[in-house]
Structure 1
């Protein structure tokens, strides 16, 4: 399928609405001369923080060598990567292999610029279903995940102990709220999270929204209102700071790292920082409203193969993808990125090497893709009204019901 200018322009708008949730040059196209089994292959990824001498940079280079080619790697910011991919496809010089944030996959598929893993002969049977689900559209996968990250609640053991709170007692929203009340009474701070008016705010709100049984196609349902009312209750009672409205996941973490908060909602990627925080911490899954673990959104990237005019290039691209996503490569890569591996075998090895990953493996097992369930490119048109509603309610501009009524009306127009 050759993407039309109209579909590419529409896709560019959608990609622009999606911000990066994970750690995040100009590129060169793949239209080189010579045999497809040799020469230079282009690879784009969203990791500008890793240079050629990093373990990731070396892995990409080594995978090219093993495939018999040289890989020219270019790293972009996540949002910039999606936009450049669409423009490159329009110009007919898309990269051979590309690593993209999982919500962007459906947008690129709609634009007609990604190949199916089944057409390439890539085996994805061992990939955890809910992880690959973030890159599956109409029953077909369009990439191979290198790993996943998600959200849980970090807690400060000293703060909870001083407040007489046993973290094992936190089973649902009611018991969590009781714990926050005790913490405040003991002179400490309750919980910090990110409610900023970007995709990060939606990402952090989703566990509570889904944990109440919310449906993204019905933002103003009783379940959605319950989730937003919970957050508003916490802010109004002083259990959560008012600056959650401006907090990114990074600044929210910095608040938790001061050692004065009982809880911090944050991601797998903060494990390294948690070990440096200087206090004992633990991790529990985000509780659902009535008990159990709430579904949490999956973050992470997919290795994809853009559509090429020269289809002979796919054989080498397949080898590069297989190398990057092999068990031998996934273990060091996911350790570096603080990701949970997408396969049970590698997850088991990760937990054996680092038992602190066990709650994260459990959290990822209960996670959902933001674009799953047929939402695809509709997700950005739902997420933005949702984070706007969160801002409106927490700031006192509207009641949770009114804010989500407005959000649903806005989402319904798209």
Structure 2
């Protein structure tokens, strides 16, 4: 979840037009194997519309194309639109040669037979950390290479904790965190802010508590799942949270923390740059698990994949472009631009050497978990939707945690 997905309504006719005509990037056809006139041109779709053609990211794409002896034609789409774009493009043979896509979408596209495996495209993934690679696996095969990862941790306001007499080192489990929130609230401040909006963002932010209780996505009505939802529901009921958690996105939740009146904010690596501009001292700790230690946190970030093409001779160049984009040298620069933690241990060490404050994030990523890593494949979106609704219903008080999760079970199926 490197940035909040902007989910605009996408009309099918507009999607087809965009696929066949292209975008302002300057291409007439966005697909990679549509036929004549494409010699020497390779098409890359990415979910980074915030980077224009003069950006360092666009420069890297051009450089990787040049290294492979071709011209890269780039098109950028919002994260929430990408899967739809690919699904519509495939029957038209207008899919890109290289597709950069949010990691939970990889297994869905793979299930639809729209992506090549790394064995087919001959991509080397041997240096990638296994838990990161697992987010792009389905039925024993890997599809693509992660370009970087982000995840969640707890930012904290040092002054607010000091005023409440809370030593952050004492927070080691749910009980000690809840005690800290109670003490902060007694001073007139709010204990914690997070996003509980009923979308994927809400699920993403619930997963550390869900997994920290020992719950599994294959069983969203387990006692462990109920414990996690009960924890957050009790926090809301007792006034430990900001009053807007039900409508908070990760962006608006961060604004709560910026106010200086909240002790903790559950948020991600993408807030590191804004955190450097906070008017108060802050720190970062891992999300605690129920009974101690650190909770598993969800992996955000994208995979660089090679879509299936009718003209398989294009795979060689496509793979060279992917290899260039995800190389150790380029990964260090790219992950700095995208506020990502690198997918390989070697580059992670370089990141920490350059910026020791990243150590907590590297630690979190190293033990993080892909949302589809349990071979959930295309089942994940329904599971996520069910969990998001359950969180919303329980935190709003309309249902008990047990009833809310029981109602989510049909969606999980």
The answer to whether TM tops 0.5 is yes
Asked if the contact 1:32/1:40 (under 8 Å) is kept, the reply is no
Report deviation, 1:93: 1.7
Match of 2:134 in 1: 133
Q: Deviations over 1:65-105 (max 9, x none)?
A: 11000000000001211111111111112110010000000
Are 1:31 and 2:33 counterparts? yes
Displacement after TM superposition at 1:33 (Å): 5.4
What is the TM-score of this pair, normalised by structure 1? Answer: 0.92
2:352 alignment counterpart: 351
SS state at 2:154 partner: strand
Q: What corresponds to 1:333 in structure 2?
A: 334
Structure 1 portions without partners, runs of 5+: 1-19
Aligned to 2:243: 242
1:123 maps to: 124
Runs of 5+ in structure 2 lacking a partner?
6-17, 23-29
Equivalence for 2:159? 158
* SS of match in other structure, 1:184: helix
After the TM superposition, list the runs of 4 or more consecutive aligned residues in structure 1 that deviate by more than 2 angstroms.
20-27, 31-36, 409-412
RMSD: 1.4
Distance 1:74 1:101 in 2: 15
Counterpart-to-counterpart distance in 2, 1:30 and 1:225: 47
Aligned partners of 1:146 and 1:301 also within 8 Å: yes
Quote the Cα distance in structure 1 between the aligned partners of 2:410 and 2:170: 39
Matched, 1:22 2:24: no
CA distance 1:309–1:378, shift in 2 (3 Å): same
Contact in 1 for aligned 2:103/2:301 (Cα 8 Å) = yes
C-alpha separation in 1, matches of 2:151 and 2:292:
19
Matched-pair contact (CA < 8 Å) for 2:147–2:302: yes
Structure 2 CA distance for aligned equivalents of residues 242 and 34 of structure 1: 58
Distance 1:398 1:31 in 2: 51
- After superposition, the Cα gap between the structure-2 partners of 1:46 and 1:367, relative to the gap in structure 1 and judged at 3 Å, is same
> Partners in 1 of 2:412 and 2:371 — Cα distance?
15
Distance (whole Å) between structure 2 residues aligned to residue 278 and residue 129 of structure 1: 38
Q: Which residue of 2 aligns with 1:147?
A: 148
Number of residues of Structure 1 aligned to a counterpart in Structure 2: 392
TM-score (norm 2): 0.93
User: What is the deviation of 1:22?
Assistant: 3.0
Q: Within 2, Cα distance between the matches of 1:32 and 1:383?
A: 35
- The aligned counterpart of 2:12 is none
Deviation at 1:23, TM superposition (A): 5.8
Aligned pairs for 1:261-276 (under 5 A) are 261-276=262-277
Structure 1 residue 215: deviation in Å? 1.4
Give the Å deviation of 1:241: 2.0
* 1:110-168 CA-partner distances (Å, limit 9, x unpaired): 11110011122211011000101000111211000000000000000111111111111
Contact 1:152/1:265 (<8 A) preserved: yes
Provide Cα deviations, 1:241-278, integer angstroms capped at 9, x if missing partner: 23100000000001001111100000010000100112
CA contact (8 A) 1:21 1:200 kept: no
Matched ranges for 1:54-203 at <5 A: 54-203=55-204
Q: d(CA) in 2 for partners of 1:353 and 1:303? A: 25
Task: State how far apart, in whole Å, the 1-side matches of 2:297 and 2:78 are.
Answer: 24
Specify whether residues 23 and 56 from structure 1 end up closer, same or farther in structure 2 by C-alpha distance, changes over 3 A only: farther
How many angstroms does 1:34 deviate by? Answer: 6.7
Tell me, in whole angstroms, the C-alpha distance in 1 between the residues paired with 2:186 and 2:330. 49
Deviation (angstroms), 1:329: 0.5
Question: What does 1:285-364 align with in structure 2 at a 5 Å threshold?
Answer: 285-364=286-365
